[in-house]
Structure 1
């Protein structure tokens, strides 16, 4: 069974997508089979890795993207997977082992207009279809929006672990605090929909400080975040081994360049020595690999 991981914070703008995309790429470079599921209607992961030339036609299509799995008889999740999504100019696979379930702007309709014909919640439909393909992967990563509404619920319900990207600021701490409360509410709501073979409900396992600007002191924000984590541990609201990752990810211009090129940072050439953010992603990924799959 793969490790299924949601990346989510109630605060937006924390660099969540850049973290998820580059961890997914680093895992694939390490020989892991990885499926990235884009659950955010902004579609940033999908646009980044598919580039606009492949994503634009999908955005106007009836099938082949995440929202289409919720429409009866349109397609199933297995039909939406874009294999070896990172491609060169000639269409060659540049990073074998990294697949994506892309999304489009239509995913926003899941929050407003969608009603399942059989009355089941979206997260139960999603879990059933994900189960058909999950054994093909070592890791399934969910790029969640900054909320715990219907699309985010799909990832959280299926996850075995949750990690919170954060910036060294007060708003990230507020977002983390709000997230933990909303997760508790959702876990209570979805308990009756869990099926045999599912892993226990996911808890927050860690916080990853990300997109850190030059000359920013993160010691105080880390101390405040650790204090809140300790409070939640004592209350049983996060995993017993929840922690702040030792590895941090710096902000760097090369990340914006990577988006333009449609490549993970690790595949961007001619990176300046001072922009060693690619090493940051590698170290974060290794720390994730070294983290026990099951909370102690």
Structure 2
């Protein structure tokens, strides 16, 4: 396995495919998944001549099941260590859901020359939880419910999420894929329960407002308006307003997991942005 060991001793697994001198595209997965969630995109961009990289966040997939460091600052620091180790320059960083938050935090702090563009897909910024400053957010009881379900029966919970809202398979007429559901379950169960439990707080309560304001590179924000996990109105349109060079692409009827369910459209639009 290819991995790096971070300063605190955590092993971060990663995939690195394609010519080392090609433009690098790095993919950041959502909760509670792994680098495997990007297989479709990695194969697509590999065939287009790009160098493609994806890692398993600490506590997820094949990385160390760390019980500490499960916070957004450490996630971003892990990415910085990996990009330093691979010496990525002029990279495009693509993040889905929690991975979109990771991209925002990393890109806002990245060393000069490391990042050329960013893509936030169905992403959690600016902040998910409801508060006086964010009245349109989701109540804390929603996230408490996720924590309760994880503690009571993680295996069943990780079947219920992809079977229902994640891919929109609970919508009338949905084209349900059992393989997609089982692959979500497989990825989720590979990771550590403690890290995944902690990550619920990370993706729901981390405020990315200042990160978004600090990003200097062109950023594409992609979101489906039928996202049942990260509601559209309180995420993508607000993020674009905070970005200096942001572009919003809204997809009518697309679900949270649209990189999987609508891969052809998502891949084509990311490619156009990368080439543009």
Question: More relative contact order in 1 or in 2 (CA 8 Å, sep 6+)?
Answer: 1
TM-score range, shorter chain: 0.3 to 0.5
Query: What is the TM-score normalised by the length of structure 2?
Result: 0.37
Larger Rg: 1
